[in-house]
Chain A
Amino acid sequence: MENLGALAILLAFCLSLYSVAASLAGRWKRNDYLVASGRRAVYAIFWLLTFASSLLIYALLNSDFRLAYVVSHSNREMPVLYKFAAWWGGQEGSLLLWAWMLSAYAAVVLFTNRHKFIQMMPYVTSILMVTQAFFLLLIAFPLSPFDVLAVGREVMAAEDGRGLNPLLQYWAMAVHPPTLYMGYVGFIVPFAFAMGSLITRQPGDEWIRTTRRWTLVTWLFQTIGIMLGAGWAYAVLGWGGYWGWDPVENASLLPWITATAFLHSVMMQEKKGMMKVWNVVLISATFFLCIFGTFLTRSGVVSSVHAFAQSPIGTYFVVFLAFILLSTSLLILNRLDYLKSESNLESVISRESSFLFNNLILLGSCFAILWGTLFPVISEAVTGEKISVDAPFFNRVNVPIGLFLLFLTGVGPLIAWRRSSLDSLRRAFLWPASAGLAVALALLALGVRHPYALMSLGLCVFVAWTIVSEFWKGARVIRSRTNQNLLAAMVELTHRNTRRYGGYLVHMGVVLMFVGFTGAAFNKDTTVEVNTGDTFHLGRYELKVSELREGENPNYSWHHAVVDISVGGKPAGKLEPERRFYSASRQNTSEVAIRRRLNEDLYLNFAGMSDDNQKAVIQAYVFPLVTWIWIGFVVLVFGTLVCLVPNKVRFQVARTEMMGVVEQHAPAQE
């Protein structure tokens, strides 16, 4: 079986090289048969990798402990879901998943566009398959998932496996890596389209629309992946953190930020034919950062709790990254004439300018995170001394940048395309800015003294007001013309321009998430050692330990506490945190108990037993507003899905341009 798996990967690797060669040769020799064979090789790669993946999954589900990978990442007692999830639990398997996803994406892209972009698609195929070949090279040679345990020439089988890291045995963790990979891998598609369009000097905007849609879908997957990781950290790690600025977490955020910048600035290209060079740079940077993030996770360059075991593939990545950087830069420089802007900026106070600032701040944030992640390595190389760049650094640098970005989120919709007058700006800003300021002052009067919290909540109200007023104004017009109720009018409004109003919903999701982030300024916690019957207090809660018990099953042993909660003397339910010890991996985990409310979460962690083993150590936390992060996430996902729905009204004139000035009809300049 292992031979078949390894052979399938090797065949897929050879076919990916063939696909590159056939597509390019077919394009240059104008031989459609060759181009078609290059495309069909991609379909074959997908089936070969599906076969190889199935074999690995079969081995994991059936505990085939002849395979080194199965021994390292599963054991007999693991639930089936986590045996399946072990596919991506280790370096080799996750690279196979990556390659399989890329083959699936490539097959879908090539199949759906087989009759479109005739000139460009062979290049798109080649770029996809060069990347495919790179990842297949890794699992075909240095990191095969089908290596067997052997002594000399004799294959051995282990009695049992070491099991998947128990911290990863959580439902969100079973979904988080593949979702994140769907984001990482998916960004290769818009990059391939952008490069293909540059090579062939693709006319028209159709390829931009295709690219934008793919970017939006993969951005959505990346967002879901990141947030599932945050949710997992919050619910599993035991201290209520959802973001730790770990290098691997940062690596997932970097391409997400550049893709967010791209999704904004590409509107300038669609509407005005501007920012073409910038958009190509952004999508290339997104692709580069995806590969760079994978390199960080897997090469051991930076220390991270998330990183895979160190492996010899760092050099492969460095060479591939250098190849991407060099070839992309040369291509962009060579095509600067094709990327010339078709129109000009008409005013500093315009939607176009706000996009420039939005891009600047997003990229500034991206750079700050990348810089903070790499600075320990750079500093050690220069000064010879190790330094730590931990969460406080990232918070200090990124909080002001994030707040400015939030401000721009509110400003954008208030400014018109082409130009806005100061008077119209004053009218547009008056109510939202007043509301934001009023909320900040009210909070100040109520005793809130945290400057960033005041600014953040004030800005959240400002942005939310602008978004709601956009819906309100549009829906009111539709209601007056169609006699629909306001809700139906809002749905109608959104359906008429899904991109615009879906985008506003995404912004609203971001606002709600900022509300949740702001709550962190008011966290409370305590750690206590307690016995049955003991009572302790945190904030407005009185917590009484009504029961402590322990036990074990074949997978783990456990300590369990039942804690009765009361608020102001009234019962408010109970929480049951648990501590587990997994026998196979000899690792502790916490099953935290959370009382989730809109205003705050009460979070209990059974941290362990006291030194004399007589008392339970309970860590209790109050996290104000944290639920709004998850609500914001749901709104953001919903908004993105709305953006993907086709418009009810198909706008025929998508791009605005100056036609000249007719003096007698020209409106007075405001």
Chain B
Amino acid sequence: MHRLRNSILGLLLAALCLAQSASELAAPEIRRVGQHLACLCGTCRNTVADCQMLHCGYALPAREKIARMLGEGKSDQEIIDSFVAERGIHALAVPPAEGFNILGWIMPFVAILGGLLAIWWFIRRFLAKSAPAAVPANQALLDKYQQQINKDLSTLDG
């Protein structure tokens, strides 16, 4: 049922694509697929769905291809795979989370986790050092600071 609906929708899109100009290739179905694909025009760093250059040499043919393949009843994944087969994984807007490229996704969070561990170590170290001092305070020094506080407060009040 889902496949039939996609096919009918795709046929309609293909018919529209044949009859209409580039500016009308912004249907939600084309955007849905296009947002997974990088625009490789070399000017913007948008996806095929987001590139707004009217005569973009990459996004425009890519949208036409998506509309055509939807018309042929291809699934979203099949269309994306065909771009990857043609251009390599460079065609994807983000690197796939597999193989070496998984590092691309996890490293920022690993770094933050490492930072959290470093903070935990730092706090433990400094808290251990600053256990409540059992030494009696120097009363003369405390008096001096108390006077300073009173002086500062009186300035604030003024």
Binding site for B on A (CB under 8 A): 238-239, 241, 244-246, 303, 305, 341, 343-348, 353, 356-357, 360-361, 363-364, 367-368, 371-372, 375, 379, 382-383, 385-393, 396-397, 401, 481, 496, 526-529, 605, 607-608, 610-611, 617, 619, 649, 651-653, 658-663
Contacts and interface: CB of A to CB of B under 8 A. Distances in A.
B52 interface: yes
B110 to A, nearest CB: 10
A401 B112 contact: yes
A367 B111 CA distance: 8
Contacts of A347: 127
B56 to A, nearest CB: 11
7 contacts: A238-B52, A344-B127, A371-B104, A386-B88, A391-B45, A397-B109, A649-B155
B107 interface: yes
Contacts of B45: 244-246, 305, 390-391
Contact of B108 (A244, A367, A611): A367
A483 B52 CA distance: 58
Nearest to B39: A390
A389 B94 contact: yes
Nearest to A649: B155
A391 B26 CA distance: 19
B40 interface: yes
Given A387-B92, A607-B52, 17 more contacts: A238-B52, A305-B42, A361-B112, A363-B111, A367-B107, A385-B88, A385-B90, A388-B94, A392-B94, A397-B105, A481-B157, A528-B23, A529-B23, A607-B23, A617-B23, A653-B152, A660-B133
Interface residues of B, number: 64
B108 A371 contact: yes
A345 B123 CA distance: 7
Nearest to B22: A611
Given A341-B126, A660-B135, A611 B42 contact: no
A619 B53 CA distance: 10
A554 B101 CA distance: 51
Kindly list the 7 A-B residue pairs having the minimum CB-CB distance in the complex, ordered from nearest: A344-B130, A660-B137, A368-B108, A239-B52, A345-B126, A388-B38, A364-B112
A663 to B, nearest CB: 8
B4 interface: no
For the residues of B in contact with A, the DSSP-based class is helix
Q: Which of B52, B89, B103 has the largest count of A CB atoms less than 10 A from its CB?
A: B52
B108 A392 contact: no
A490 to B, nearest CB: 15
Contacts of B95: 375, 379, 387-389, 393
B16 to A, nearest CB: 14
B43 A659 contact: no
Contacts of A239: 46, 50, 52
B24 interface: yes
B5 interface: no
Interface stretch (B6-14, B73-81, B140-148): B140-148
B3 interface: no
B108 A661 contact: no
A670 to B, nearest CB: 14
Contact of A610 (B23, B43, B115): B23
Nearest to A370: B108
A388 B24 CA distance: 27
Contacts of A390: 38, 45-47, 93-94
B116 interface: yes
B37 to A, nearest CB: 9
Interface string B114-152: 011011001100110110111111110110010010001
Contacts of A305: 42-45
B88 A661 contact: no
B156 interface: yes
B81 to A, nearest CB: 16
Contacts of A364: 108, 111-112, 115
Contact of B137 (A386, A652, A659): A659
Given A611-B21, A659-B145, A379 B100 contact: yes
A607 B56 CA distance: 11
Contact of B123 (A353, A368, A371, A391): A353
Given A379-B100, A388-B91, A393-B104, A658 B133 contact: yes
